[in-house]
Amino acid sequence: MTFKAPDFTSLEVVAFAGSGIPIGINIPNYDDIRTNEGYKNVNLGNAYPKVTPTTLDFLSEEDMELVIEQYDTAEVVGVAIHELLGHGSGTLLYEGKFDPNLINPATGEKVDCCYKEDETWSSKFGKLSNAYEECRAETMALYLSCYHDPFSAFEMHQNWERSRDMIWLYMAYAGLKGLLFYDPSNNMWGQAHCKARYAIFRVLQEAKVVSIEFTEDGSFFMRMNREAIPGEGFAAIKDFLMKLHCFKATADLTRGTELFDYFTKTDEDILKAREIILSKQKPRRMNVQPTLRMENGSVQLLEYDESFDGIIKSYCERFPYFDEEMFEDFNKEWALMHK
């Protein structure tokens, strides 16, 4: 077997077709192609949100300062680990293609289930697969951020522990804020990444690394005991990642579902925090993308205000004329889709 070194490319977004812009992508999403051919990891360098005191509700002043100070550099390391060693790892065990005496580290016993020849990760885990896989990748980021090596690869040698603390803090914070996408009446999550990060928040809460402190003015603070990260935090995340990883590798839907259901349940305090988060919700970030234009033989970059006017202007300048042929093709496709 030939080892192919992983590749991590950073791109600047000129245009992105979709309702939102991710900050990192592991492509393609087909398991068989990833296993047999490989995959690409892409960081979208200018797609990261701006963090300011107004975007960091429910954090203490000290924690807020840490995120603002470290986010631009530390989050890139977290995304790199997520894409490269999170999504980019995890061999699946197929029937007849592994040692029958292999011990499953998550159970301490011989592997008792595996994938059939016609099964894939997505087909086996179904609707759970997206959130579960995102959680595995995010947990990998927390686990490996406890080592200096990932930061060294990005030439971050000074105060790398503060970068680690930011990755952990922001992950737990994102998990709690992700309750915006949780529907308690149906016990359903509307976004896979939010459910994944919430599970991590609960792991850290159970390990007493993070906590919620309600205030007399009807709000709350999420607090993290940073001193506990190398000890109780690392041990909890290590155990959680090992189980996520092994249950995926062995097609263990039963244990995987039990684990994930346990760490995505809510309680009275969580639902109370959710109501407060909803009451203080701010308008969603506007993703305004630039336009490239050729002018006098040179490429010009046109940028716009982050506003509705800026979005409209960007589209008008990106599509300055009516393309009748493209419009006809669109109408044909639309008619076929709604036949």
**Token digits of residue 182:** 């949780």
- pLDDT averaged over every residue in the chain: 89
- Considering its fold, how many domains does the chain have in total? 2
The stretches of 231-303 forming alpha helices (DSSP H) are 234-249, 253-263, 268-279
> Is the model's pLDDT at 1 over the cut of 60?
no
Chain mean position to CA 40: 16
| Residue 1 resides in a domain | no
Rounded to whole angstroms, how far apart are CA atoms 253 and 261? 12
Torsion of CA 280, 286, 287, 292, to 10 degrees: -160
pLDDT of 295: 87
Q: Beta strands 182-183 and 109-110: pairing type? A: unpaired
pLDDT of 318: 82
pLDDT > 70: what percent of the chain? 96
Q: Which of 113, 99, 133 is nearest to 251 (CA)?
A: 113
What 3 state SS string does 174-191 have? HHHHHHHHEECCCCEECC
Residues 16 and 84 in one domain: yes
Instruction: Indicate the helix (H) or strand (E) that contains 214.
Output: strand 210-214
- Check 75, 83, 134, 138 and give the catalytic one: 83
For the segment 253-281, what is each residue's pLDDT rounded down to a tens digit? 999 999 999 999 999 999 999 999 999 98
pLDDT of 131: 96
The mean pLDDT value for 22-36 works out to: 75
Report helix, strand or coil for 21: coil
| Residue 286 resides in a domain | no
> Is the model's pLDDT at 3 over the cut of 70?
no
| Residue 284 resides in a domain | no
pLDDT of 49: 79
Of the pLDDT bands very low, low, confident and very high (cuts 50, 70, 90), residue 2 is low
Q: CB under 8 Å to 305, separation ≥6 — which residues?
A: 288
Answer yes or no: 83 catalytic: yes
What 3 state SS string does 32-74 have? HHHHHCCCEEEEECCCCCCCCHHHCCCCCHHHHHHHHHHHHHH
> Is the model's pLDDT at 91 over the cut of 60?
yes
For the segment 200-253, what is each residue's pLDDT rounded down to a tens digit? 999 999 999 999 999 999 999 999 999 999 999 999 999 999 999 999 999 999
Which residue range forms the structural domain that includes residue 21?
8-279
> Is the model's pLDDT at 156 over the cut of 70?
yes
Residues 300 and 274 in one domain: no
What sign has the CA pseudo-torsion 176, 180, 185, 188? Answer: negative
Residues 59 and 148 in one domain: yes
pLDDT of 339: 66
More confident residue, 13 or 134: 134
pLDDT of 317: 86
Of the pLDDT bands very low, low, confident and very high (cuts 50, 70, 90), residue 324 is confident
Residues 269 and 327 in one domain: no
Residues 240 and 300 in one domain: no
Domain closes at, from 279, 303, 322: 279
pLDDT of 83: 87
| Residue 40 resides in a domain | yes
Domain closes at, from 237, 255, 279: 279
For the segment 117-129, what is each residue's pLDDT rounded down to a tens digit? 999 999 999 999 9
Q: Which of 290, 26, 240, 4 is nearest to 135 (CA)?
A: 240
Instruction: Indicate the helix (H) or strand (E) that contains 158.
Output: none
pLDDT of 5: 67
Residues 38 and 134 in one domain: yes
Residues 145 and 261 in one domain: yes
Residues 275 and 302 in one domain: no
Rounded to whole angstroms, how far apart are CA atoms 228 and 254? 31
Domain closes at, from 233, 259, 279: 279
Q: Which of 178, 165, 145, 144 is nearest to 264 (CA)?
A: 178
Lowest mean pLDDT across 131-140, 168-177, 269-278, 292-301? 292-301
Rounded to whole angstroms, how far apart are CA atoms 189 and 209? 24
Residues 329 and 210 in one domain: no
Which residue's structure tokens are 């900050």? 23
Contact indicator for 132, 125 with CB cutoff of 8 Å = yes
